Homo-oligomer: A and B are copies of this chain.
Amino acid sequence: MSNNRPIGFLDSGVGGLTVVKEAMKQLPNETVYYIGDTLRCPYGPRPVEQIKQFTWEMTQFLMKKNVKMIVIACNTATAIALEEIKKTLRIPVVGVINPGARAALKLTHNNKIGVIGTAGTINSGEYGSAIHKKSPKSDVYGIACPKFVPIVESKQYSSTIAESVVSEALAPFNGKNIDTLVMGCTHYPLLKPLIRQEMGEKVKLIDSGAEAVSEVSMLLDYYDIAADATEEEKQHEFFMTGSKKMFEDISHDWLNLESISTNRITLP
């Protein structure tokens, strides 16, 4: 059996595009529908109930598009809404935290793991729980980096401002001797060169979103809902609540797509 319906990706903004990029690489037969709530981004500092509501609105939008699977390509939304959405929907729902935690445990040698994310993700403690459940003795150091998402969403991720913001935010890791750092926000891979520069070559950087794509790939097989390999070009669709131009600029930068189908929409 095969299933050529799209996979739905949702994010508070453009960060989930880093997950889509990996999905297009690993799963070239699949059609991507993406929604980014760029108008209401960032989610990180918002109250839990509001994050839950916004995430449900995006989920319902994708469900109306008849997606076969939903990827919550946003750590904040995963931390706060994954469990409830997974329980409620009848299609598979994948988050980004468990894959990131599993990858960290696989790569760390000294069991000292850093996690960076939004305030919402770090305060939820979900990474610590996921890691400690498997490995109670691991040390997990979480740092909220509330300035990172606005820098990415405003396309300043290569600026000198970005450089000093990243440097300042990661300074508390000095002396912690972590050997693995989870980029626990799908926006952060856009800042990876600066994060790499700050942490040095020896610290392993984990892209939670890219890790999630392996889970998607496995579940497509497990539920026997992978798309057929065809010669036809995929009709990917990108929806956003904010500026089309900003979205197109970043997605062009990141996905190397000459032209993509973008649609500004209103939620709910």
Binding site for B on A (CB under 8 A): 2, 26, 29, 98-99, 102, 106, 130, 132-136, 214-215, 217-219, 221-222, 226, 228-229
| Chain B neighbourhood of A132, CB < 8 A | 229
Known: A229-B133, A229-B134. A218 touches B215 (CB 8 A): yes
The distance from the CB of A209 to the nearest CB of chain B, in whole angstroms, is: 15
Q: How far is the CA of A221 from the CA of B102 in the complex (A)?
A: 9
Q: How far is the CA of A214 from the CA of B219 in the complex (A)?
A: 12
Known: A98-B221, A221-B98. A136 touches B215 (CB 8 A): no
| Chain B neighbourhood of A134, CB < 8 A | 29, 226, 229
The distance from the CB of A266 to the nearest CB of chain B, in whole angstroms, is: 33
Residue of B nearest to A219 (CB): B222
Asked whether B228 lies within 8 Å of A133 as measured between CB atoms, the reply is yes
| Chain B neighbourhood of A226, CB < 8 A | 133-134
Residue of B nearest to A230 (CB): B136
Asked whether B102 lies within 8 Å of A217 as measured between CB atoms, the reply is yes
Q: How far is the CA of A16 from the CA of B214 in the complex (A)?
A: 24
| Chain B neighbourhood of A29, CB < 8 A | 134
Residue of B nearest to A27 (CB): B134
